[in-house]
Structure 1
Amino acid sequence: RDAVKSFIGGEDGTLAVTRNTTEAIGAVVAGLAWQRGDRVVTTLLEHHSNLLPWLRLRERGVAVDIVRPDADGRLDLADLEAAVRDETRLVAVTHASNVLGTVLPVREIAGICHDRGVRLLVDGAQSVPHLPVDVADIGCDYFCFSGHKMLGPTGTGGLWMRRPDLEPLFVGGGA
């Protein structure tokens, strides 16, 4: 765990070992106490692993705002900032698009989130294998990634958290 935390610049946070990015994102979805009227902001650049779980929260009365990129696949930060409202609890974005290769300005997005008291989840499945990643520098609250994208074994991944503030998916034993 310490080696993985060091690899992503997350020595000061907590690392939960997961099966993959999908499970890590799911742990955040399930681990936060959502209330009717809460909002999530995400983008149209997301892999389904970072889109469908948020859309499913609509069944519980959580609104999902989806920011669209421009014709070149770039995200306008003003559009994202406009989507963040008082009711927004979390922004969930990819670090690098698996389709277009667009690298999002996650550090700037973190600034927007923290100025508004909103948590930020970054899907790092595509970035960790290809870019230097420093979660402390990014300023995100949650960073999710898979081992198999980095030539590691299938069934390995991680959820890095600035603070371990999620309710666990499972309780008992070593959970």
Structure 2
Amino acid sequence: MAGTETQKEAFHIVAVVGSLRKGSYNRALLREAIEAVPEGVTIEVFDKLADLPLFNEDIETQETPDTALAFKEVIRKADALLVVTPEYNSGLPAVLKNAIDWASRGSPSVFKNLAVGIMGTSPGAMGTVKVQAQLKQSLGGLGAYPLAAPDFVLPLYKSKFDANLKLTDEATVTRLTAYLDRLRELGTCLSAIREKL
């Protein structure tokens, strides 16, 4: 049985974090997700969003930045995208929106028929509900398929992580694995209709 499993191609997720802060709780959440990944699933982190200039069609016309091209390429090759993000002023962090704008350029879109998981944690009781709704609207408009409810929203992060930014809540770890498994199921279904760009 083990030999059969190793012969199967892994389901590959590319992940981005909507926070640039090294000590970000959302970065910590992604690290925990990587540790809790289901068997047969891999996660690659694209951690160069800070290198992207603000989207400007004049820049694009001259030469698309290498980081933008690299981001599009990892999305193109992935089976799914995982976005882990905080909520800034009830909305999207600028660095994340900027990355989506760069990656959205060109036809066919790298987002077309792409499974997308969205996770987020915050200190408040509402978690990242508003930013997740905005992301679903934006990515859905680009042809992607954000994973439907139940969403992965983790409120009150100080009660979930210790001083070293490690999850102390076993129920949350279980939720992470289950959520990533659902993302794999959605991505596997979409692979039959997703264009190989």
TM-score, normalised via structure 2 length: 0.30
Of structures 1 and 2, the one with the larger relative CO (CA 8 A, separation 6+) is 1
Higher strand proportion (structure 1 or 2): 1
Q: Tell me which protein shows more helix as a share of its residues.
A: 2
When the two structures are superposed, what TM-score results if normalisation uses the length of structure 1?
Answer: 0.32
Q: Which protein shows a greater Rg?
A: 2
